[in-house]
Each structure stands twice: as structure tokens, then as C-alpha cells.
Amino acid sequence: MRKLVVFRDIDDEYVDEIRKIIPDWEIEFAVDDNGEISLKDAEILLGWDKRAAEQCLYDGTPLKWVQTWSAGVNDMPFEAFKKYGIILTNASGVHSVPISETLIGMMLAFARKINTYIRNQMNKKWDRSYNADELFDKTAGILGVGAIGLEVARLAKALGMRTLGFRYSGKPADYVDKMYGPANWEELLKKSDYVVNILPLTKDTFHIMNEERFKIMKPTAYYLNAGRGSTHDEKALIKALKEKWIAGAGLDVFEQEPLPLQSPLWDMDNVIITPHTAGDNGRYIERVMNIFIPNLRAYIYGNDQFINKIDLDKQY
């Protein structure tokens, strides 16, 4: 019997919909990380963890397709997937609304000094001396114009901002006034008042924001990252903040998580920290199912038009 293994609890309505597509399949749930379940005979995995890595990657494996719960796939065993011909799809797009709203919220907080006023409120301090700014007519430079980046650009345009984008293809996109490619993307850093990093982590993006590139940014500009922590050099970022190469940073992701208690970032007045929660929302499972169920139909009917199919060589 062919088998699907699901790594999270999902509502009965989704289970029923899946059973209509694969009525003769066995469906097992591996929700408990420590639960004993055999994955060796699974053909499809909805999710991935160390048990799957240990049990499913071997010569002759029946595993044909993995749909991840996350957008990030930088920890996946790409070489093994290529070796065994396993299709990989991710949950890109699931986070576009909550992450883009978080990033816009950080921009507004910096512009309107909300983070400063909250600190003052905690200390019962009435201080009107801060010069609040606005986002209107400012420039947002978006590193990584995928689903999230496009939503950031759309919201930024609604607030009257100019938008610049960087993607490796250099292909133009709606709501992005100018798109840059690998040859000239550093120009974006020079022109942006807010540099928004939503890049995936690959061998090409590791520490792409380093000391040299933080120095390119305006001293009045803010750096935001809700993509992957290792796409910037955290030591270089701390130096940039301390030496005022940039005005501040809004960070949801870090090179080490949880962020160590001794990190200077915790105590910086010009830093907003969220604990890798920018993508949290109450509709996560619904949005993953909106990717997985069409993909399941495509798989069963032999249609290769998968949503969010990962290029195993590019790793995104």
C-alpha cells in the first residue's frame, strides 16, 4: 500500500480532502517527535525532520516527494534528493502577509519613533524632543523579491514609498520601481532608506550583508531582516550599529537562535527584536494546505506543474 506521512496535526476537513484524492493510500501522522513510526515505506512526506533523514534516504527508497511546512529549505539534504530523484516543494508564500506586515510595522516604528516611546512609557518618561519622520517619499530596498518581497513592495507603495528590488534573475515585478540583478545590486544599498532582507540562505547569500556592504548604506538608513540570520554577518552588523554606519536595525532572525543573552543587540535602543515570529499567524495550516492539496493532485495525475517546486541545484 502506498503511504503518506504527515508531520503535523491537520483539521479533519483537510484529511477528508486528501483521502478523496488518494482513497487507497495509507495516511499516518508523525506528530510526536519522539514517536515510533516507520517512514521507510513512505512515498510522500508532508513535513520533514531528523527521523525522515535517518529512515528515508537509502538506495531503492520509495520516497518520491517531500512538501515542507516551511519556506526555508537551507537545511535540506539536497545532494541526497538529487541522488534519489526526490521532488522537493516548500511553503513559500505562506508567510507573505504576516512577515510583510511585520516588516512594514518595523519601518513605521522607526519612522514614528514608536520603539522609543514604548521604552519611555516603561520608564514613565514624558519626552517630546524626538523628531519623528514618515515613510512617505522614502525608499525601501528589498533584497529577495519573492512572494514576501512582492507583498512588502505592494504595502510600501500604498504608503507612498519608492521601491527598489534585488533578485538574481533581475526580472521586473509589479510594485517595484526598479529591479537590480547580481551585477549592480549594491546600488540599491546606496539609495535605500530601509534595506529589507528576505533572501533565502544559500551558498551565494551567506553573509551577503557584510562589513563592506553595511558601509555602503546611508548613515540614516535602517536594516531589516526577516529572512535568514546567516545572510548577514552579525558581528559586522553590531559594529555598523555601534559605529553609526546605519541608523538602526529590525531583526526577526539571527545567526544563533535563541539570540544569546550576552548579545549587544538586546541593549541597543536603535534595534527592534522579534524572536523569529514574523511569520506567525492563525492561518498557517490553511495556507500550507492550499499548496499541498493542489500539488497532491498534480502528483497523482502525473502533472509536473508543482507549486513552489525547488530547484535542487539552486537550492531555492
Which residues are part of the catalytic machinery? 228, 257, 276
Q: Is 102 helix (H, G, I), strand (E, B) or coil?
A: helix
Given a contact cutoff of 8 angstroms between Cβ atoms, the answer to whether 264 and 239 are in contact is no
Given a contact cutoff of 8 angstroms between Cβ atoms, the answer to whether 227 and 208 are in contact is no
Q: Is 291 helix (H, G, I), strand (E, B) or coil?
A: helix
If you search the block for the grid coordinates 501522522, which residue do you land on? 29
Which of 96, 89, 182 lies closest to 143 in space, CA to CA? 182
Q: H/E element holding 189?
A: helix 186-191
Calpha distance 32→8 (Å, rounded): 8
If you search the block for the grid coordinates 510583510, which residue do you land on? 100
Given a contact cutoff of 8 angstroms between Cβ atoms, the answer to whether 44 and 5 are in contact is yes
Peptide bond into 264 cis (omega under 30): no
Which of 270, 264, 227 lies closest to 246 in space, CA to CA? 270
